[in-house]
Amino acid sequence: MVEHGNHPDIHRLAPAGPGDQIGIGGTDRPRGVRDLVADLALMPVEGGARVAIVESADRMTEDAQSAFLKTLEEPPDGVVTILCADDDARLLPTIRSRCARIRLGPVGARDIEALLAERGVAEPPIAARLARLAGGRPGAAMSYALSPEAQTIRAEIARRLLDLLQLGRSGRLVAIRELAGRGGDLVRALETGAARGRRTPPAAVGAGAAAGGAGRSDAGPLEVDAEEDGLPGGASGRIRIPAAERRRGALALVGIWRGVTRDLTLYGRGERRRLADPSLLEDLERATARLDAASAGSFLARLVQAGDLMEANVAPELTLDVLAVAWGSGGRHGRDR
pLDDT tens-digit series, residues 36-86: 999 999 888 987 899 999 998 998 999 999 999 999 999 888 999 999 998
**Residue bearing the bigger pLDDT, 335 or 297:** 297
Angle of helix 316-326 relative to helix 293-311, nearest 10 degrees, comes to 170
**Residue bearing the bigger pLDDT, 330 or 148:** 148
Q: DSSP E strands: which ranges in 198-266?
A: none
Answer yes or no: are the C-beta atoms of 129 and 279 closer than 8 Å. yes
Q: What is the pLDDT of residue 18?
A: 65
pLDDT value at 213 more than 70: no
**Residue bearing the bigger pLDDT, 10 or 202:** 10
Residue 98: C-alpha distances to residues 11, 32, 83, 137, 292 (Å) = 20, 20, 11, 26, 47
* Extents of the domains making up the chain: 10-96, 107-145, 149-326
Q: What is the pLDDT of residue 232?
A: 38
Q: Which helix (H) or strand (E) holds 54?
A: strand 50-54
Q: What is the pLDDT of residue 212?
A: 37
Give the three-state DSSP class for 126.
helix
CATH for the 10-96 domain, from 3.50.50.60, 3.30.465.10, 1.20.140.10, 3.40.50.300: 3.40.50.300
What digits encode the pLDDT tens for the residues 232-269?
333 444 556 777 788 889 999 999 999 999 999 999 99
What digits encode the pLDDT tens for the residues 296-327?
989 999 999 998 888 777 889 999 999 999 99
Q: What is the pLDDT of residue 231?
A: 40
Is 220 buried (19+), middle (13-18) or exposed (0-12) by CB count in 10 A?
exposed
How much is the mean pLDDT over the chain?
83
What digits encode the pLDDT tens for the residues 163-201?
999 999 999 999 999 999 999 999 999 988 888 876 665
pLDDT above 70 as % of the chain: 84
Q: Which helix (H) or strand (E) holds 220?
A: none
Q: What is the pLDDT of residue 225?
A: 40
Q: What is the pLDDT of residue 335?
A: 44
Q: What is the pLDDT of residue 239?
A: 58
pTM for the whole thing? 0.68
Q: What is the pLDDT of residue 17?
A: 73
What digits encode the pLDDT tens for the residues 19-48?
678 999 877 678 899 999 999 998 889 878
Q: How confident is the model at residue 330 (pLDDT cuts 50, 70, 90)?
A: low
Report DSSP letters for 75-122, one per residue: PPTTEEEEE--S-GGGS-HHHHTTS---PPPPPPHHHHHHHHHHHT-S
Q: What is the pLDDT of residue 185?
A: 94
Length of the chain measured in residues: 337
